[in-house]
Amino acid sequence: QVQLVQSGAEVKNPGASVKISCKASGYTFSNYYMHWVRQAPGQGLEWLGIINPSGDKRSYAQNLQGRVTVTRDTSTSTLYMELSSLTSEDTAVYYCAREIATGSGSYAYWGQGTLVTVSS
Site string for another protein, 49-88 (x = CB under 8 A): -x--------x-xx--------------------------
Count residues contacting another protein (CB under 8 A)? 20
115: Cβ–Cβ under 8 A, 6 or more apart, which residues? 9, 10, 92, 93, 94
Among 45, 65, 87, 119, binds another protein (CB under 8 A): 45
* The one among 29, 35, 72, 80 contacting another protein by CB under 8 A: 35
Answer yes or no: are the C-beta atoms of 38 and 95 closer than 8 Å.
yes
Check binding of 10 to another protein (CB under 8 A): no
Does the protein bind another protein through residue 112 (CB under 8 A)? yes
* Sheet strands (E) in 1-120: 3-6, 10-12, 18-25, 34-39, 45-51, 58-60, 68-73, 78-83, 92-99, 107-110, 114-118
Least distance to another protein, CB of residue 62, Å: 8
Give me the residues that bind another protein (CB under 8 A), please. 35, 44-47, 50, 59, 61-62, 95, 100, 104-108, 110-113
